[in-house]
């Protein structure tokens, strides 16, 4: 059996850990997971779905009694973040689907996260309550008010322990700032501001102020008929609070410095790879559209995902990426079909591991791919119920392009394009990954020796 892939010195073997979600063959649309995100310590894992709900999982403390069960993730809190709305001006529905969740770094006992749908960003506070006051004077234990004239004795309420309750409360609602659909939110390294990006504009918010935001990027043309390019993703630099990047549907990335001007329409750096004339087709622009952009943890690189590749760029070199990885190049000859059934517009995300040595992204047929930047080895794994035995090692998968198909390979025409892995997340410091496959969340860990 072929091993996994090399990561630094040892080979990492990925094992199934858990799966969340129903096994029903029919998928309820509202259960489809639309975003996955670990918090900064990896203790919490949040998912958002098309129904506007957020589910937070917490990693349980590792116990000495069961060392092989390394910290399983269990449901910690579930709440309805966004509700469907109706825009009466345009007679259009506003979907409640959660597009992105971003955690704030923890500063006290409570956890804070930002969740957004197409139009509105919300700041949620998730906190624990394990004590409750008992012995009120003016109301009894059931909460019913007492008649004040009947009270003869006064007492001081005391806090008594109770079953742990996790409550989520919306602390801020940042609304009415986006005409177009929000695709990204990013918390700034100053922890005081964050940005929200839609198709044509990027706004800067202060967490404390909800009734105004600053517009820092605006690419809306004066005449909408001249519109040929939209913003597809945006992110703040992990350390420099003045720097951010945004990607476009034309395959370009712009790095902006907020110190230069209030409106960052003029980029500080412009990243674009020259087109390969031999590969040109009517679909070239569509497949060059960047669906996700992520800074490395070090802040030195950015990674972009377009339809067929993942690219790593050095911030110091604008004219081409330093690394390009083919995710599923066998789809290049199928672009017309994929255009027809709209799969060519699927927006895949990409993630770095904690040490920036491995990158991961999803594909079709519930496959996801990992690329080791040091050894240049890659592996294709599958998130499926068949591989769901506890601690079962994931077997690498292979897609057969043409000619003879080997026994374990799958041919391109047999791929299930309805099973797409768009959202994945990597624990900030350990080899634990969360993979969203439609309505199921898979958690994989590396093998414990």
Partner 1 sequence: MFLTPVVPHWPFQNMDTMFVRGLKRKCFDGEEDIEGTLAGIKAIPSYNLQRQSLLDMSLVKLQLCHMLVEPNLCRSVLIANTVRQIQEEMTQDGTWQMINTQSTGQASLDRLVSTDILCRSSRDQAEGKHVPAYGTFNKDFESDQAQDSSETMSTASSVQAPRNLQSNVWEMENPQENKGNFQKSLDQIFETLENKSPNSVEDLFSEVDNSYYDLDTMLTGMMSNTKMGHCDNLETFSTPTNTASNSNCKSDLNDLDHIVEILVES
Q: Which residues bind partner 1 (CB under 8 A)?
A: 87, 89-95, 118, 179-181, 199-200, 224-225, 227-230, 232, 249, 279-283, 285-286, 289, 332-337, 339-342, 345, 364-365, 412-418
CB of 27 to partner 1, least distance (A): 12
CB of 426 to partner 1, least distance (A): 26
Alpha helices (runs of H) in 295-357, residue ranges in sequence order: 335-340
Q: Rg for the chain (alpha carbons), in Å?
A: 24
Which is nearer to partner 1, 90 or 407 (by Cβ)? 90
Single out the residue of 243, 263, 239 nearest to residue 253, CA to CA. 243
Closest CA to 17 of 59, 76, 80, 63: 59
Nearest residue (CB) to partner 1, 150 versus 224: 224
Answer for the pair 243, 256: CB distance below 8 angstroms, yes or no. Answer: yes
Q: How far apart, in whole angstroms, are the C-alpha atoms of residue 151 and residue 201?
A: 61
Which residue, 19 or 399, has its beta carbon nearer to partner 1? 399
Which of these, 32, 30, 81, lies nearest to 51 by C-alpha position?
A: 30
Residue 235 DSSP class: E
Under 8 Å CB-to-CB from 222, ≥6 apart: which residues? none
- Closer CB to partner 1, 343 or 393, in the complex: 343
Whole-number minimum distance, CB 417 to partner 1, in Å?
5
What's the min distance (Å) between Cβ of 93 and partner 1?
5
- Residue 415 CB, shortest distance to partner 1, in Å, is 5
- The nearer residue to partner 1, 269 or 332, going by C-beta atoms, is 332
Of all helices (H) and strands (E), which one includes residue 253?
strand 253-257
CA atoms within 13 A on the CB side of 184: 31
Least distance between partner 1 and beta carbon 229 (Å): 7
| Local structure of 372: helix, strand or coil | strand
Nearer to partner 1, 196 or 289 (CB): 289
| Cα–Cα dist 433/444, whole Å | 5
Whole-number minimum distance, CB 341 to partner 1, in Å?
Answer: 4
Residues 6+ apart with CB under 8 A from 175: 119, 120, 121, 210
Q: Which is nearer to partner 1, 300 or 419 (CB)?
A: 419
Answer whether 438's CB lies under 8 Å from 49's CB: no
Structure tokens at 423: 């959202």
Instruction: Calculate ∠ Cα 405-364-341, nearest 5°.
Output: 105
Contact present, 31 and 411 (Cβ < 8 Å): no
Q: How far is the CB of 371 from partner 1 (least distance, A)?
A: 24
For 166, 194, 406, the CA distances from 170, given in Å and listed in that order, are 13, 17, 53
CB neighbours of residue 227 within 10 Å? 12
**Shortest spacing between CB 304 and partner 1, in angstroms:** 15
Q: Which is nearer to partner 1, 232 or 440 (CB)?
A: 232
Cβ distance to partner 1 smaller for residue 12 or 287 = 287
The least CB distance from residue 23 to partner 1, in Å, is 20
Cβ closer to partner 1: 247 or 296? 247
**Is beta strand 301-305 parallel, antiparallel or unpaired with respect to 201-206?**
unpaired
Paired strand residues for 92? 87
């Amino acid at each position: 059996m072929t091993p996994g892939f090399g990561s630094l010195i040892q080979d990492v073997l990925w094992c199934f850990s858990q799966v969340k979600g129903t096994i029903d063959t029919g998928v309820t649309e509202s259960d489809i997971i639309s975003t996955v995100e670990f918090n900064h310590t990896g203790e919490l894992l949040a998912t958002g779905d098309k129904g506007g709900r957020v589910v937070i999982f917490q990693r349980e403390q590792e116990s000495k009694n069961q060392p092989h069960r390394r910290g399983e993730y269990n449901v910690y809190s579930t709440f309805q973040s966004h509700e469907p709305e109706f825009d009466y001006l345009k007679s259009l529905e506003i979907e409640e689907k959660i597009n992105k969740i971003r955690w704030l770094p923890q500063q006290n006992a409570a956890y804070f996260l930002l969740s957004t749908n197409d139009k509105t960003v919300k700041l949620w506070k998730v906190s624990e309550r394990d004590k409750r006051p008992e012995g009120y004077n003016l109301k009894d234990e059931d909460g019913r008010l007492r008649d004040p004239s009947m009270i003869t004795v006064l007492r001081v309420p005391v806090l008594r322990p109770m079953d742990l309750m996790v409550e989520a409360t919306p602390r801020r609602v940042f609304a009415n700032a986006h005409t177009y659909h929000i695709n990204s939110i990013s918390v700034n390294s100053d922890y005081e501001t964050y940005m929200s990006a839609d198709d044509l504009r990027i706004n800067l918010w202060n967490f404390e102020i909800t009734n105004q935001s600053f517009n820092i990027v605006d690419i809306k043309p004066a005449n909408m008929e001249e519109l040929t390019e939209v913003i597809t993703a945006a992110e703040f630099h992990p350390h420099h609070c003045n720097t951010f990047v945004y990607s476009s549907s034309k395959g370009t990335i712009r790095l902006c410095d907020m110190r230069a001007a209030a409106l960052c329409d003029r980029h500080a750096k412009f990243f674009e790879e020259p087109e390969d004339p031999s590969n040109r087709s009517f679909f070239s622009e569509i497949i060059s559209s960047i669906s996700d952009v992520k800074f490395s943890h070090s802040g030195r690189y950015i990674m972009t995902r377009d339809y067929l590749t993942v690219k790593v760029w050095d911030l110091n070199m604008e004219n081409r990426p330093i690394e390009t990885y083919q995710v599923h190049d066998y789809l290049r000859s199928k672009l017309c079909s994929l255009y027809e059934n709209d799969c060519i517009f699927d927006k895949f995300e990409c993630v770095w591991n904690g040490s920036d040595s491995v990158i991961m992204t999803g594909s079709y047929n519930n496959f996801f791919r990992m690329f080791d930047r040091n050894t240049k080895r890659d592996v294709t794994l599958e998130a499926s119920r068949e591989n769901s035995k506890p601690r079962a090692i994931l077997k690498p998968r292979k897609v057969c392009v043409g000619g003879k198909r080997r026994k374990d390979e799958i041919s391109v025409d047999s791929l299930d394009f309805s099973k797409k892995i768009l959202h994945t997340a990597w624990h900030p410091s350990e080899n634990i990954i969360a993979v969203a496959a439609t309505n199921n969340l898979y958690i994989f860990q590396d093998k414990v020796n």
